[in-house]
Structure 1
Amino acid sequence: MAQLSWAAPSAQALLAASDAVRNPDQSFGLINNLIEYRDGKQIDSSTLAVYARADRKTGQFRNLIRFVAPQRDAGKLLLKNGNDLWFFDPSSKASVRITPQQRLLGQAANGDVMTVNLAGDYDASIGAEEEIQDGERQKRASYRLDLTAKNNEVTYHRIEYWLDRNNSRPIKAKFYSNSDRLLKTAYYRHFQTSLGQERPTETVIIDGLDPKWITVMRLSDWAYREVPESWFQRDYLPRFNPEQAQ
C-alpha cells in the first residue's frame, strides 16, 4: 500500500467527480442490456430502457425503468423516487414496493440498474493510493475510496471503489453486505464518448462466492431527453404509455 501524498484531494470531491463521469448533468435516457453467464455460457438476458432525471433539491437521480425484452417481461416498470422503489406489472395493474438489494437478473440488483450519484448516498474516505489492473487488464494508478452508506435505504452497506488518479474514472468496485460479506466485484470498462463525456459503457459484475457467475451490463443509445415529472408518480404507472417514451 502506497503512502498518501499530501496533495491528495478530498475523497468526497473525487467521488463527485466520478459520478460526473458515469452520469450526465441533465435528464437523459439510455438502453441497458443485461447478460448473465455461468461457466462461460449465456443463460439469460434482459433489455431495459432507463429514463433518469435529477431531483433539484437533493441532486439524486429519480428513475423510471421500462422492461423491453424478453417478451415475458415487456411493459413491466421499475420506479425510483427518493428512497421509494416500486415494481409495476401491467398484467395485474399492481405496484409493489421492493428493495434496491433484490436481484433483477444474475448479479445485477435493482439498485445496480438505477442511475445514482454515489456522493449523495455515501460518505467517502481515501483508503490508499494503489496500482491495480482494470477491466481490460491494463495497470492503472488509482485512489481506493472507502464508502460507507449514509442510511439503510441504499443498495450496499459498504463499497471499496477504485478511481483512476488522472481523471476520476471508475475502475473497479467491491460491494459488501451489512454483515461485511463480499457480495460482488465490478469492473467498469469500454469507455466511449456519450453526451459530451467519456463514460463506461460496460460493467462486468462477478459474484462474491462464485467467480464463474458473471453478469455484464452494456449501456447504449444515450440521449438527452425531457423526462416528465408525471413519470415519477406511483399513481401514474398504470397509465404509462411506452409510445410516449420512444
Structure 2
Amino acid sequence: MFNWIRKQPLLIASLVTICASWQVQATALSQDISAAEILSIADDYRLEDAASKVVTQVALYQDGELDKTRQYEVYLRPNRESLVLFKSKVEQGQKMLMLGDNYWLVMPKSRRPIRITPMQKLLGDASVGDVSTLTWSQDYTGEIISDQSDITDADSEPTLQLSLQAKTAGASYQSIDLWVERKSGFPVRADLYLTSGKLAKKALFESGEREGQRRVVTMVLLDQIQTDKKTVIDYQEVTPHQLADKYYNPAYLSKNKRVEL
C-alpha cells in the first residue's frame, strides 16, 4: 500500500490558504509593517475566503514536455481542514482528507481510510503539502531579512525577502524563503526546504484577475531534487463554499464511495 503512495502523484493544488480575509493593499506597504502582517496579505492573494471550493488543473512536465494532466476539487474550511476529490478518470473515486496534522487517503476499493504521515504527504510530483496545507500565516513564523526596494532595474519589482520557520508539526516544509512585492505584498517566489535543510522546490506565483481582484492564478513548482520535473497548477475556480461536517469524517468517506458535491 505504501508503494502505491510513493508512486501515485498526489496532485492537488496549493490552494489551501485558510486565513482571515484581508483587504489587499493597492499602495506601498508601510515601513513598520510586521512579517506576520505581510504573510497574511500574501496568503490573501491566494485564497480570500475561509471556507471555499477550489477547482484546479495540474499539468506535469517531464524534460520540458507535457506528461499528464489531472483535475481536482478542494474543499477548505478554517483550522487547516480540507477535503480533496480526485476528478480525473484514472483517479476517479480517490479522496484525501486533512484535519490539522492528521491525513487520510481514501481509495475506492478500500474498506478503511489509509492513515498517512506528514512525511508521506510530501511524496509525489505536486505533494499534498504543496497544495492543501501550505498556509504561511498559520503554519510559519516570519522575519524580514532583506528589503530590495533600491532595485534600479526597470523590469524588476522591488521585493521584500522573508525567512519562514515552521511552527506546526505537520507543516509541509521546515523553512521557506519567500519574496513578496514591496508595494503590495503579492508573493513572487518561494524556496521550499525540507527538515534536512535540503532545497526541495522552487515555487513561482503568476498574477491574474479573479472577480476584478488581483490574485495568484497559477503556481509553477520547479523540482530541485528531480530537476527534470515541473508542475503547473492552475486555479480555475475559487468560490465561497461551506461543506457539511460529515464530509470531514474519514469513516463517512470510506462508507460513501461516491461523493458528488
Q: TM-score range by the shorter chain?
A: 0.7 to 0.9
Compared CA separation, residues 184 and 47, structure 1 to 2 (3 A): same
Which residue number corresponds to residue 46 of structure 2? 22
Which residue number corresponds to residue 201 of structure 2? 184
Which structure features the higher share of strand residues?
1
Task: Work out the CA distance in 2 between the residues paired with 1:132 and 1:180.
Answer: 30
Which residue number corresponds to residue 247 of structure 2? 231
Identity of aligned residues (%): 25
1:88 aligns with 2:141: no
1:35 aligns with 2:51: no
**Equivalent residues in 2 for 1:167-246, closer than 5 Å:** 167-194=184-211, 197-238=213-254, 239=256, 241-243=258-260, 245=261
Structure 2 unaligned regions, length at least 5: 1-28
Task: Work out the CA distance in 1 between the residues paired with 2:208 and 2:124.
Answer: 23
**Deviation string, structure 1 residues 150-179 (Cα, Å, up to 9, x no partner):** 133211000001111111111100000111
Letter of the 1:208 counterpart: Q
Q: Please, which of 148, 159, 182 is the counterpart of residue 165 of structure 1?
A: 182
Contact 1:122 1:148 in 2 (8 A): yes
- Cα offset for 1:103? 4.5
**Equivalent residues in 2 for 1:87-126, closer than 5 Å:** 87-101=105-119, 102-103=121-122, 105-106=124-125, 108-114=126-132, 116-126=134-144
Partner SS state of residue 231, structure 1: helix
Contact 2:54 2:237 in 1 (8 A): yes
What's the TM-score, normalizing by structure 2?
Answer: 0.80
Aligned length in residues: 229
Task: Work out the CA distance in 2 between the residues paired with 1:203 and 1:166.
Answer: 21
Which residue number corresponds to residue 144 of structure 1? 161
1:76 aligns with 2:100: no
Contact 1:34 1:105 in 2 (8 A): no
- Cα offset for 1:9? 1.4
Letter of the 1:177 counterpart: L
* Misfit runs of 4+, over 6 Å: none
Contact 2:56 2:71 in 1 (8 A): yes
- Cα offset for 1:226? 2.0
- Cα offset for 1:123? 0.7
Compared CA separation, residues 225 and 151, structure 1 to 2 (3 A): closer
- Cα offset for 1:104? 5.6
Contact 1:76 1:90 in 2 (8 A): yes
**Deviation string, structure 1 residues 78-130 (Cα, Å, up to 9, x no partner):** 00111111110021132112234435642x11111215432111110001012
- Cα offset for 1:191? 1.9
Which residue number corresponds to residue 75 of structure 2? 51
- Cα offset for 1:64? 0.3
Task: Work out the CA distance in 1 between the residues paired with 2:111 and 2:213.
Answer: 39
- Cα offset for 1:132? 11
Compared CA separation, residues 198 and 93, structure 1 to 2 (3 A): farther
Root-mean-square deviation (Å): 2.4
Which residue number corresponds to residue 35 of structure 2? 11
Partner SS state of residue 171, structure 2: coil
Structure 1 unaligned regions, length at least 5: 55-59
